[in-house]
Chains A and B, each alone.
Chain A
Amino acid sequence: MDRGLYVAMTGAKQIMQAQAVNNHNIANLSTTGYRADEVAFDSSPIYGPGYATRVNAVAGDAGTDFSSGVMQSTGGNLDIAINGSGFIAVRGSDGQEAYTRAGDLRITPTGAVLTASGQPVLTNSGPLVIPPSTTVSIGSDGTVSVVPQGSAPFAVTQVDRIKLVNPSTKDLQKGDDGLLRLKSGGKAKQDDSVSVTSGMLEGSNVNPAQSLINMIELQRLYEFQIKSMNSTDTNEQSAERMMQSS
């Protein structure tokens, strides 16, 4: 059997995986703080005896698109959006520090501040916990101040400061849980230049038009691969017929 068939098959398989990444982006059009995944194809020549004539395609992450998402005004005092670059530090389910752009926060009865997906928000000295309070406000540098329950409405107390970081996006990698982590492991340093706006949420940065074009392109590429598998098959059949007639 001609090995060209396998090259085309690999191509088709990888393109379907790229389509899955693209569909995942489309599914996350409305996910707060979502950063689009990008996919790229690498050529991987098959070395063996003789000249490497076959080159397989291999789909790989081209990383994550870190451009900003759409800002939506919600008015919620626990909704924060990061202005420009930067991330909110949270504790991932593995106990390690991880980073996210999703700033829809909530408070548990024990006073712990969590993201909507349930990860504790971190300060420089561990998880952020606030005392029982009547109002909570988050300043532009991440400082959390509250009016404790039982005190006068103007008795604002500063609690702690949310850890905001700004590592180079080159060093960040998306984990299995969708949170970003440093490729090298470890923790990023607090960056005072990162600022947040409360009462706003940052939407997903998936570009719907681009995703649709990607989708069409991948579909046609897929059809090319199938076509070339089909042609290989036709060639094979012709060769067979030629042998029979002689």
Chain B
Amino acid sequence: MNLALWAAKTGLDAQNTRMAVISNNLANTNTTGFKAGRAAFQDLMYQNVRQVGAQSTQNTQYSTGLTLGTGVRIVATEKDYSQGSINQTNGPLDLSVTGRGFFQITMPDGTIAYTRDGSFSLDNQGNVVTASGYPLQPAINVPQGTQSVTVGSDGAVTATSASNAKGTQIGQIQLADFVNEQGLQPVGNNLLVESASSGSPQVGTAGTNGLGQIQQGTLETSNVNSVTELVDMIECQRSYEMNSKAISTTDQMLQYLTTNLS
């Protein structure tokens, strides 16, 4: 009905979505391997009410045109894949990747998901699994009687037992990398899945081909910067208020019209 109202309404919508992104970031300040999101805004299409340079008469032209913008929308929530800080935990199956690369996880339906969260543990069969119980890919089984497990920076997993103090290699953790990691689709549980825009995974040994190294006994913390998020939140709230003010002002104008011309 009224463009002024709808333009301001899109502003409210977009700021609301941005607030949801900020809240999600803040809620995940302690999530292992979490990557902060950022809402990307884009102005909506413009309506060309009067073309600039159109003929106002046969001999004269309009020196200005009139284009009305129709508001704003959020086009993307971009993830910030910068490295989170590394937290020493000393757990033998707490792993972190310094640099590029994701751990590969086998989902219950057999597909592969990717994660930066390296807080692994063992299930009752001795398999290395995530906190949700999904097995690591390629699967690694820690045999019974193992006393200690060592994970090298290249992902080689060695187990030592009382009878075998020298240790035997029981598996090799491989990392996956993507051309456009921004394109990975988050599916919750700290997991990401491949999408059309992420490209296909390039699997390799840690420390080679630009992949990062694996560090045993450490976890990568969330890379959310709470100060940035709080400043963002203030900005978001004030922008929201201004858009809401714009709606109420336009409403008052229309109200003035109906009450005074009836």
The chain A residues found within 8 Å of chain B, CB to CB, are 12, 16-17, 19-32, 34, 37, 39-40, 42, 59-63, 74-76, 102, 104, 106-109, 111, 116-118, 132-135, 147, 149-151, 153, 173-178, 183, 208, 211-212, 215-216, 219, 222-223, 226-227, 229-230, 233
Contact = CB atoms under 8 A, between A and B. Distances in A.
A151 B209 CA distance: 6
Interface of B: 2-5, 7-8, 10-11, 14-15, 18, 38-50, 52-53, 62-72, 75-76, 78, 80, 82, 100, 177-180, 182-183, 196-200, 202, 209-210, 235-236, 238-239, 242-243, 245-246, 249-250, 252-253, 256-257, 260-261
Contacts of B75: 116-118
Nearest to B12: A27
Nearest to A222: B253
A34 B261 CA distance: 38
A211 B7 CA distance: 14
B61 to A, nearest CB: 12
A38 to B, nearest CB: 10
Given A30-B41, A116-B42, A212-B242, A106 B62 contact: no
A109 B246 CA distance: 41
B49 A17 contact: yes
A31 B243 CA distance: 14
A28 B256 contact: no
A61 B253 contact: no
Interface centre among A60, A151, A173 (most CB of B within 10 A): A60
A223 B219 CA distance: 62
Interface centre among B2, B40, B69, B256 (most CB of A within 10 A): B69
Given A26-B239, A134-B177, A176-B47, 7 more contacts: A21-B68, A31-B41, A39-B66, A60-B63, A109-B199, A174-B67, A183-B52
Contacts of A116: 40, 42, 75-76, 78
Contact of A176 (B2, B45, B180): B45
A104 B77 CA distance: 12
Contacts of B3: 17, 20, 23
A30 B64 contact: no
B18 A30 contact: yes
A223 B252 CA distance: 10
A77 to B, nearest CB: 9
B83 to A, nearest CB: 11
A24 B7 contact: yes
A20 B68 contact: yes
A103 B199 CA distance: 23
A123 B58 CA distance: 42
A108 B183 CA distance: 8
A107 B179 contact: yes
Contacts of A61: 52, 64-67
8 contacts: A21-B69, A23-B246, A31-B43, A32-B40, A75-B80, A108-B197, A109-B178, A151-B210
